[in-house]
Amino acid sequence: MTLFLFILIPIAGGLLAWITAAWNKELPRWIALLVMLFELVLAASLWWQLDDAARWSSDQWIDTFQRPWMPRFGISFSLAMDGLSLLMLVLTFFLGTLSVLVSWNEIKERTGFFHFNLLFVLGGITGVFLTMDLFLFYFFWEVMLIPMYFLIGIWGHANRTYAAFKFFIFTQAGGLLMLLAILGLYFVHAHSTGVFTFSYFELLDTPLEQNVGRWLMLGFLIAFIVKLPAIPFHTWLPDAHTEAPTAGSVILAGLLLKTGAYGILRFVIPLFPEASHFFAPWIMLLGAVGILYGGKLAYAQTDFKRLVAYTSVSHMGFVLLGAFAFNALAWQGVVMQMITHGISTGALFMIAGSLYERLHTRELGKMGGLWPALPRMGVVSMVFVMASLGLPGLGNFIAEFLILVGSWQAQPVITIAATIGLVVATIYSLRIMQKIFFGVSHREYKLPDLSIREGLMMAPLVIAIIWLGVYPQPVINAVKPTIPAIVQAPPVQPVPIAIHPTK
Amino acid sequence: MSTTDLLSLMPLVIISGSAVIAMLLVAIKRNHRIMHAFSVLAFMVAILSLFVQPYAVPYVIAPLFVIDAFAMFNTGLILVAGLSVLFLSFKYFEQREERKEEYYILLLLATVGGMVLVISQHFISLFLGLETMSISLYGLIAYLRARERSDEAGIKYLLLAALSSAFLLFGMALVYAFTGTMEFEGIGRYLKSIGTVPVTVVAGFGLMMIGVGFKLGIVPFHMWTPDIYEGAPLPVAAYIATVSKGSMLVLLMRFYRDIDGYEYTILWWVFAIIAMASMFVGNWLALLQQNVKRLLAYSSIAHMGYILIAFLAGQLAGQEAVIFYLVAYVITSIGAFGVLAILSDKVRDAELLEDFSGLFWRHPWLATVFTGMLLSLAGIPLTAGFIGKFYIIAAGVDAGLWLLLVLLVVNSVIGLFYYIRIIAVMFQPLTDKAPILTRQALPFFGVFALSALMGLLIWLGVYPSALIALIRDMMLTMG
């Protein structure tokens, strides 16, 4: 029941926020804040209670919830939570709370509808992370699109309509392919076992012919790498991130991209082990290309938000690289990457929002020399820029290190290429600090430094990223039971691409 | 004709009787309000009469009619659609100068035609039903005589419908000449006995196809759709989109099943090509429209293409999918046209994209309903349209129609472009320009009907099990 509440509360809260806006324009903010805080406390307490290694290793599933929904098709409203889902939920509610706070001053018009959309998208994301029925998964996957479309399209910046449009079309097209693949899997399963079901657990052991399995796997994979996004499907991302209001960018970068990564870990690899192994080298190559190309593009940007958006393309390349390396180290790294990237990129977008509020520009060329005026913001930015370039002691380092160590065992050549990405990351990250906070000041700025509200938003982010960098064990413990479920795939040696040093 | 026969035809009797009484009412005293209330009452009584069945289904009135669960369900669908159209009609016609009362007589008569179609199992009843409906529609489409476009649409429909009826008749004659029967099942038995479809019969089916295709508005018989949707009064457009197309579709399903059409690949290919063409032509031309009515017209062509895919999937799942999609489509179409009808003022209809600019900030509920309807057309979750599209895709995957499904997916994405464009316009910030349409108060009944449709839309989108079970039982008994 708790699991159902996780989804129901944001949606009910969203409706309430929309309705109450008629009486008071400030009320929706408080409702949204309370809803998110409540959810955060609920999820965190679950994590807290279960945070001992013995409990974790015994059973993958912490809680399940199941009700029949459309028995005609074998669809049930089936939710289940394991360590991976729980971590994603904590991240969702953490960033959700912050995105309510970050909109406090930014969104002044139509607050009711804004918070309705915000809570609705968060509810949809929660559903994606919890559901264990493939139909329901697709349902939530699509449900989160509409409110996101409105968030970008109504409250975004100048070019919002175009960006919202592009975002919607890209993800919807990917989603429909996934629907075809889901149905394909459903009927293959039904024809071989006689049971019509969308249940994840039953579909897990569907016997698949080699070719069928590969096609179906590609259907899923395309939907997920559009969302992730990986080259060549990333073009919606810079537009959507840049034009969205700050809360929208935080949710997009911090959470929506993670649904793609989550989908790969939860569905693609366990459902299609053979096909995943078959395509693994190519996907890892795609990941490495994404790391380098994303980094290169990030360096070339003059718009702060666009720059951060491209760093996401680069960082998500690590997720692809790690996910298809097929070993526990890399997968732990991927989960770490999902969380730390959510935090660090979310924080960078919030800083971009705060700067925009003060300077009314996102152009790097018009900034510079801001440190004396905004010392506290400078320090916070420094922390996240360092996180983004992978400085040891901060969460992202652990993530990328684990991924690289893991993928080295699978594909050394590709891993070397990916490692160069860390150098690229250093270059573009330092450029952020250089352009914004150092250098000469173009004008004499008299700007307010971080306000109390902003400080309150930034403090937990800083604490979280340092904590994850110094003591990542709780995260690693939490995903430990999930990983064997992913690895249960037959240990086929991945086919090396081109030259393999051991040969 | 026995008493049970009459009882089994109760809804039909009620609606036809009401049409006669309505004529008398007009002769006694012209009053728009009374006519409207009377028609609403007639529809409601007819709907209630469906629930009283003193006879066992399926009940056959040889040789013309068969009243089985399938027929009753679709009769109900037609009546509910007609009732919803009625709710949306009152204010729309009230503000116009023409005499309003005959509209209701024509609407009742057209409904009689539709109801005859869904219970026919014979060429004669097919043609009678079709013509009753068509002839009423000529009048309905050209009802706003003072307007050029309405007249033009009426004439156009008259000419094309007459032409297509001629083709239909010729086709029937050919089929009859060869098979010696006009009963659907008889034709099926004959074809089975000789094991193939003779060329003459293929030609006959082909000619009939023109008549049927015209009514369904599928490519290449779709030319009339945009002009008629644009010219007809909005409630009539909603009626054509739902009752006229729906009843023809139901008839086609019955005919196809009775003649075992799934056995003959040539028929299959004809429909497959029509389905593909309808999807692409409909969606492609919808992309280019600036007029919302024309846009909906082209989108309806595409939707008929989607339905044909389920139809081609055949089997139980495919037929269920057709009916489910039809229900979703009826709700959505009436809802969408209803929003347009409610927003129209006495000078002109709300049909330009600019009319919807910032609608969300002016009439939040109407805009929400319209958004819901458009999202349902686009097949986005939480709406009936999503479950419908899922049903079609499921049926298609089961039948292995991969090519058609990939085209369906491509078309769904194209469709998104224009549905989202309207939604984007509705959520634009309000400009200082005063809204071009001057309508102030929204009609109570219209908004009530729209809210009910919206409720149904969401209900079917979230909890479709009840309807699915109903349709499934019905199709199983139909066998």
pLDDT above 70 as % of chain B: 97
Phi, psi values for residue B120, rounded to 5°: -75, 145
The tally of CA atoms less than 13 A away on the side-chain side of residue A444 is: 0
Residue found under tokens 């910032």 = B358
Select from A70, A143, A169 the Cβ nearest to the Cβ of B381.
A143
Give the residue with greater pLDDT, B100 vs A489: B100
% helix / strand / coil in chain A, to the nearest 5? 75, 5, 20
Q: How far is B221 from chain A (nearest CA, A)?
A: 29
| Structure token pair of residue A373 | 């005026």
Phi, psi values for residue A67, rounded to 5°: -140, 145
Q: What is the mean pLDDT of residues A213-231?
A: 91
Q: Cα separation of A124 and A129, whole Å?
A: 9
Q: How far is B380 from chain A (nearest CA, A)?
A: 7
Q: How far is B384 from chain A (nearest CA, A)?
A: 12
The per-residue pLDDT for range A115-143, each reduced to its tens digit, is 999 999 999 999 999 999 999 999 999 88
pLDDT above 70 as % of chain A: 94
Cα–chain-centroid distance for residue A43?
17
The per-residue pLDDT for range A358-410, each reduced to its tens digit, is 888 888 888 888 888 888 889 999 999 999 988 898 989 999 999 999 999 88
Contact A70 B465 (CB under 8 A): yes
DSSP-based three-state secondary structure for A78 = strand
A330, A403 contact by CB (below 8 A): yes
Q: Cα separation of B41 and B49, whole Å?
A: 12
User: So what's the pLDDT on residue A490?
Assistant: 46
Neighbours of B269 (CB within 10 A): 11
Name chain A contacts of B394, Cβ cutoff 8 Å: 73, 183, 186
Name chain A contacts of B353, Cβ cutoff 8 Å: none
With vertex at residue A53, the alpha carbon angle to CA A48 and CA A56, rounded to the nearest 5 degrees, is 80
The per-residue pLDDT for range B296-341, each reduced to its tens digit, is 999 999 999 999 999 998 888 899 999 999 999 999 999 999 999 9
DSSP-based three-state secondary structure for A498 = coil
Q: What is the mean pLDDT of residues A431-443?
A: 83
Name chain B contacts of A164, Cβ cutoff 8 Å: 424
| Structure token pair of residue B105 | 């007589």
Q: Cα separation of A62 and B52, whole Å?
A: 52
Quick one: closest CA in B to A139, which residue? B381
Name chain B contacts of A223, Cβ cutoff 8 Å: none
Q: ipTM of the assembly?
A: 0.85
Q: Cα separation of B259 and B188, whole Å?
A: 4
Contact B424 A145 (CB under 8 A): no
Q: How far is B287 from chain A (nearest CA, A)?
A: 14
Contact B393 A180 (CB under 8 A): yes
Give the bridge partners for B61, in sequence order: B65
Cα–chain-centroid distance for residue A18?
27
Select from A70, A154, A177 the Cβ nearest to the Cβ of B464.
A70
Name chain B contacts of A143, Cβ cutoff 8 Å: 381-382
Quick one: closest CA in B to A18, which residue? B364
| DSSP type of residue B18 | H
The tally of CA atoms less than 13 A away on the side-chain side of residue A20 is: 16
Contact B390 A135 (CB under 8 A): yes
Cα–chain-centroid distance for residue B157?
16
Q: Cα separation of B415 and A149, whole Å?
A: 16
The tally of CA atoms less than 13 A away on the side-chain side of residue A98 is: 33
Q: Cα separation of B476 and A3, whole Å?
A: 37
The tally of CA atoms less than 13 A away on the side-chain side of residue B134 is: 24
Contact B465 A72 (CB under 8 A): yes
DSSP output for A301-364 = --BHHHHHHHHHHHHHHHHHHHHTT-SHHHHHHHHHHHHHHHHHHHHHHHHHHHHHHHHS--BG
The tally of CA atoms less than 13 A away on the side-chain side of residue B476 is: 6
Residue A71 in contact with partner chain B when CB distance is under 8 A: yes
A489, A269 contact by CB (below 8 A): yes
Torsion-angle region of residue A74: left (phi > 0), alpha (psi -120 to 50) or beta? left
Contact A154 B464 (CB under 8 A): no
Residue A498's pLDDT band, with cuts at 50, 70 and 90, is: very low
What amino acid occupies position B314?
Answer: G
Residue B43's pLDDT band, with cuts at 50, 70 and 90, is: very high
Residue A212 in contact with partner chain B when CB distance is under 8 A: no
The mean pLDDT of chain A is 87
First to last CA, chain B: 27
Q: How far is B386 from chain A (nearest CA, A)?
A: 9
Name chain A contacts of B310, Cβ cutoff 8 Å: none
Q: Cα separation of A471 and A473, whole Å?
A: 6
The mean pLDDT of chain B is 90
Contacts of A131 (CB under 8 A, 6+ apart): A78, A79, A137, A139, A140
Helix axis angle, B265-287 to B199-216, nearest 10°: 30
- For an interface test with B, which of A110, A136, A159, A183 has the most B Cβ atoms less than 10 Å from its Cβ? A183
Contact B397 A164 (CB under 8 A): no
Give the residue with greater pLDDT, B324 vs A502: B324
Q: Cα separation of B245 and B228, whole Å?
A: 13
DSSP output for A79-128 = EEEEHHHHHHHHHHHHHHHHHHHHHHHH--S-HHHHHHHHHHHHHHHHHH
User: So what's the pLDDT on residue A58?
Assistant: 55
The per-residue pLDDT for range B162-180, each reduced to its tens digit, is 999 999 999 999 999 989 9
- Interface size A-B, in CB pairs within 8 Å, comes to 65
Q: How far is A142 from chain B (nearest CA, A)?
A: 6
Residue A127 in contact with partner chain B when CB distance is under 8 A: no
User: So what's the pLDDT on residue A483?
Assistant: 78
